[in-house]
Structure 1
Amino acid sequence: MASGTMRYWAAAKAAAGLAEEPYAAESLAEALEAARVKHPGELARLLRGCSFLVDGDPVGAREHETVRLAEGGTVEVLPPFAGG
């Protein structure tokens, strides 16, 4: 199991009530499920529409179960942004 840091931005940060927290997971799917359990309600709902960067690389349309997390890595949680 890899451990690292999950960083929340903008509305995700407000919904989680913190800017970052540690994770312990093998895949992005596992890390997100743990976040949903820790932060039920608004963050759990918001995560469905977020984009993610794993160690600086966009996840895009890849299945979250296939995105492996590295020891000491970083997951950036980016909610949809308004504006143009």
Structure 2
Amino acid sequence: MTTTQSATVRFFAAAQEAVGQDSLTTDAPTLGVLKQRLLAEHPALTGILSRCAVLVDGARVDDDFALADARTIDVLPPFAGG
């Protein structure tokens, strides 16, 4: 029997506003699947998610990255200022 681990997805700034909460859990197999699910479940992310930095356990990864061992996924929109 295979156990699926859940990862915590944390949202910040405009992404948090679009989703309506600061975090949720996911069992998505890859980052790409997670992004598809987020867009399907939270249409307000359309136009925001593509501009976000998405970090898996602190690192930028490709959409085909497997999330099986991921703990935290951060969705960070661009921030103004500098």
TM-score for both structures, normalised by structure 1: 0.83
* Deviations 1:13-60, CA, capped at 9 Å, x for gaps: 0111100011111110011111111101x312200110011012233x
**Quick one: which amino acid aligns to residue 64 of structure 1?**
D
2:47 corresponds to which residue? 45
Percent identity for Structure 1 against Structure 2: 39
Assess if the C-alpha contact under 8 Å between 1:12 and 1:46 holds in 2: yes
Q: Identify, as 1 or 2, the structure richer in strand.
A: 1
Counterpart of 1:49 in structure 2: which amino acid? Answer: R
Structure 1 contact 35–44 (Cα < 8 Å) conserved: no
User: Gaps (5+ residues) in structure 1?
Assistant: none
Q: Structure 2 matches for 1:1-84, cutoff 5 A?
A: 2-40=5-43, 42-59=44-61, 63-65=62-64, 67-71=65-69, 73-84=71-82
Q: Could you say what the CA RMSD is over the residues aligned between the two structures, in angstroms?
A: 1.5
Q: Please, what TM-score do these two structures have when normalized by structure 2?
A: 0.85
CA distance in 2, matches of 1:44, 1:24: 21
| Long gaps (5+) in structure 2 | none
Bigger Rg, which one: 2
Name segments (4+ residues, structure 1) moved above 4 Å: none
